[in-house]
Amino acid sequence: MELKRVVVTGLGAVTPVGNNPEETWNNLINGVSGAAPITLFDASKFKTQFACEVKGLNFNEYIDRKEARKMDRYAQLAFVSAIQAVKDCGMDLETVDRNRIGVIYGVGIGGIKTFEDEVKYYGINEENGPKFNPFFIPKMIADIAAGQISIHFGFHGPNYTTTSACASSTHALADAFNLIRLGKADAIVAGGAEAAICACGVGGFNAMHALSTRNDDPEHASRPFSASRDGFIMGEGAGCLILEELEHAKARGAKIYAEMVGEGASADAYHITASHPEGLGACLVMERALEDAGLKPEDIDYINVHGTSTPVGDISEVKAIQKVFGDAAYKLNISSTKSMTGHLLGAAGAVEAMATVLAVKNDIIPPTINHEEGDNDEQMDYNLNFTFNKAQKREVRAALSNTFGFGGHNACVIFKKYAE
């Protein structure tokens, strides 16, 4: 069968550097850091006391107060990003077939703050017997964001969540892409969300020695590809892309940001948290995405890398890029937007895919910030263009976005300029 073409017609984002896609993009290309001391809980006794929080968002503009009380923060963020994206795509919900519109949202952890709060409350009251909020379970479970979004819009198409740690929302995009090109849906609201900046989240990652402890200088703590990197910075937020079958989009006169042309998935099959030191799984996922897209390495102009600012992860990803792209690796731009947003865990893939789409649309590469002269890792090939510290204008015909998750889960998506 002939596969259908899939395009991006709407964007939504709530991130540590902006409460909508436009604000997020402007701050990304201007190299603005979202890191600051934690305000969501008292982190004064934690090894890490800073994070990349969503700031100044008025949830009441998007969510009824009564409904908001039934949602964990991660679901609230997801809901806002989806409302933004659906509005942006300009779809008339009274005329489209909502039976053929789906919702797929990736979540790495889910309602961890709800779980934390309920367990604390139960402990205080256990003398009087168990007492839990009746919304405890539906607030906590990872699939509920997708459910809340479909309920709000009346979308009856495929509806579920993908959970593969930090690769979750990239897998959501890949699933949506495949369902649409197989003709099983006309459009899918696809994205991811996470809100794990709480005692359990920060404490748990601290125990693994995964987080930066640069408490005296949060804004410069996320420094992918620099020798002085000491771990990732916890972030929160949500990203959403409206993926739509091309003819369906054209029939309603939709604006088109870019075309999604390929996806890849692989496993490191190596370690529960560490990436394969030689980037084996990363090589496979990029090769599969290129093959799926029908593109050669030299067709790619930009890679939005996983680039978490961890000592081992950054090196293995660079090795994989060099193996897959060969000489072409030195002609493309590489950047890690996590240097600004922090690591959004299950939301990372969707937010970074949005940045990748906008790089294709606007021919601008967002930078990797916080690299200082002389702060060079001897294992890193600095002949590659990491787009350090300053955005770069160049033609972006096609771009690739990588996300890798604990458990060895790897996902990759490719976007290119739309042309008839």
Given 306, 371, 409, 412, the catalytic residue: 306
Does the model's pTM come out above 0.95? Answer: yes
Residue 343 appears among annotated catalytic residues: yes
Please provide the average confidence, as pLDDT, over all residues in the chain: 96
Between CA 24 and CA 14 the distance in angstroms is 8
Domains and CATH numbers, the chain: 6-416 (3.40.47.10)
Residue 283 appears among annotated catalytic residues: no
Q: Return the closest-CA partner of residue 207 out of 236, 224, 231.
A: 231
The b/e string for 135-171 (b: 16+ C-beta within 10 A; e otherwise) is ebebbbbbbbbbbbbbeebebebbbebbbbbbbbbbb
Which tens digits make up the pLDDT trace of 316-334?
999 999 999 999 999 999 9
Which of 119-133, 159-173, 189-203 shows the lowest per-residue confidence on average (mean pLDDT)? 119-133
Alpha carbon of 172 to those of 165, 242, 263, 323, 354: distances in Å? 12, 12, 11, 27, 13
Which tens digits make up the pLDDT trace of 340-362?
999 999 999 999 999 999 999 99
Residue 420 pLDDT level (bands cut at 50, 70, 90): confident
pLDDT over 70 at 11, yes or no:
yes
Which tens digits make up the pLDDT trace of 246-266?
999 999 999 999 999 999 999
Given 171, 220, 248, 343, the catalytic residue: 343
Given 52, 89, 166, 283, the catalytic residue: 166
Residue 178 pLDDT level (bands cut at 50, 70, 90): very high
Between CA 324 and CA 97 the distance in angstroms is 42
Residue 166 appears among annotated catalytic residues: yes
Task: Output the furthest CA–CA distance in the chain (Å, rounded).
Answer: 68
Amino acid letter, residue 36: A
Between CA 92 and CA 264 the distance in angstroms is 32
